[in-house]
Amino acid sequence: MRLLGVDKSRGWVRVVVTSNVDLINLYRLIGPGDTVYQETTREVKKERASGEIDSERISLKVGIAVEKKSADPMMKRIRFQGRIVYTDRELDILKKYHTIQVGRGDVIEVESREKLPYFLRLGEESREKRAVEMIVVSGDDEELAIVKIDGEGLKILKSWMFGESSKRIGYEVEPRGEKIFDELVQLLKEVTAKSNPKLVLLGTTIHADMIASEIKKRDIRIYNLISRNLQVNIGGVAGLREALRRGILGEELKPLADAIQVERAMKALLKHPESFHMGLEEVAKVCRSRRGALVLATEDFIWENIENSLLDEILSRVEKGIIDFRIILENTEASDKINSLGGIVCIEKKIIED
């Protein structure tokens, strides 16, 4: 969630929604009594002198006093309903009902003195965690893959499979291998044209060095972006999974930190199963007893249970700083592991302290 403007005297903030997690936080924070503003469109009816009614859709800014809210887990959108209390155009729509929909990329304004500290904290956390994206090229003698990692997750941009002849000569000047590396470097040029990402190579020592050499032959600028060559036992997408499990990519970006946190949780499950809790009811019970220290839940689970009173109880304790809570991004190996355990898990304080 990126702060675009703040007025502390009014308790007003202007924010841009940058992730699905932002939507979850907004849904939690905004409630009855708050005012939400958004640039929107509305159909306005006009009566002609002849008595005929025309309708026109116009752009305007409206503010509503929130009365109700709802979430759409499938579309990953939230809605706020209430009566219009502000409009920047002279229209007869004050006190009429209006719905404001919010999704990723949308900009809204919120007026709430009570919730202002939470918005400021989320904005500061977002600013601190903002990092340059990472591009990972992972290869061996069977597969070459290029993956983009940023604060929103992991995206496989492309992967290539090498044929038997390529395996025998280890990427050397064989027509198909040359074409694959030509395509790789061209794609790297495209994804680095508007940003300056960290470029990391994964593979066995021989394969990572070979990939670096092939990139250098084709484009020295791309070669100079390489920040690390990291050794894994296998290349391709499987090599990326290995790197995430081992935590060798670091944890400056959320998907990497998620993977490391989940691996730690899996170790805690194996070593201290009695202090590892799964499922919403059990996790809520442990948090209520103040034994819980860390809760991990997947983004899908949060959306599916966003109206659940037990989840609301847990998140209320998070807001008060009683427990730590981490939302695991969807469509990752880390989220698959947590989903296999019920979508939400909790580790007791004594395990974290040990």
Q: What is the CATH number of the domain that holds 344?
A: 3.30.1330.30
Are 65 and 154 found together in one domain?
Answer: no
Question: What confidence tens digit (pLDDT) does each residue in 78-96 have?
Answer: 999 999 999 988 888 899 9
**Where a domain ends, among 129, 154, 181?**
129
Are 276 and 315 found together in one domain?
Answer: yes
Task: Write down the mean pLDDT value for the chain.
Answer: 88
Report the pLDDT value the prediction gives residue 19, as an integer from 0 to 100: 86
Task: Give the least confident one: 169-183, 188-202, 211-225, 240-254.
Answer: 169-183
Report the pLDDT value the prediction gives residue 130, as an integer from 0 to 100: 58
Query: Across-strand partners of 230?
Result: 202
pLDDT band at 173 (very low <50, low <70, confident <90, very high): very low
The answer, yes or no, to whether residue 46 has pLDDT greater than 80, is no
Are 120 and 27 found together in one domain?
Answer: yes
The answer, yes or no, to whether residue 224 has pLDDT greater than 90, is yes
Per-residue pLDDT averaged across 264-291, rounded?
A: 93
CATH of the domain at 154: 3.30.420.60
pLDDT band at 157 (very low <50, low <70, confident <90, very high): very high
Report the pLDDT value the prediction gives residue 97, as an integer from 0 to 100: 93
The answer, yes or no, to whether residue 26 has pLDDT greater than 90, is yes
202: left (phi over 0), alpha (psi -120 to 50) or beta: beta
The answer, yes or no, to whether residue 169 has pLDDT greater than 50, is no
Report the pLDDT value the prediction gives residue 132, as an integer from 0 to 100: 67
CATH of the domain at 122: 2.30.30.870
**Where a domain ends, among 73, 100, 129?**
129
Are 189 and 104 found together in one domain?
Answer: no
Report the pLDDT value the prediction gives residue 168, as an integer from 0 to 100: 42
pTM of this structure: 0.77
Question: What confidence tens digit (pLDDT) does each residue in 185-212 have?
Answer: 999 999 999 888 899 999 988 899 999 9
Are 65 and 107 found together in one domain?
Answer: yes
Are 142 and 67 found together in one domain?
Answer: no
Question: What confidence tens digit (pLDDT) does each residue in 139-150 have?
Answer: 998 899 999 998
Are 217 and 284 found together in one domain?
Answer: no
Q: Which domain holds residue 141?
A: 134-246
State how many domains the chain has. Answer: 3
Are 121 and 13 found together in one domain?
Answer: yes
Residues above pLDDT 90, as percent of the chain: 64
**Where a domain ends, among 86, 104, 129?**
129
Are 74 and 100 found together in one domain?
Answer: yes
Give long-range contacts, CB 8 A cutoff, 24+ apart: 141-144: 141/166, 141/167, 141/170, 141/171, 141/207, 141/235, 142/167, 142/235, 142/236, 143/235, 143/236, 143/237, 143/238, 144/180, 144/184, 144/211, 144/235, 144/236
Are 116 and 145 found together in one domain?
Answer: no
Are 194 and 145 found together in one domain?
Answer: yes
Report the pLDDT value the prediction gives residue 351, as an integer from 0 to 100: 81
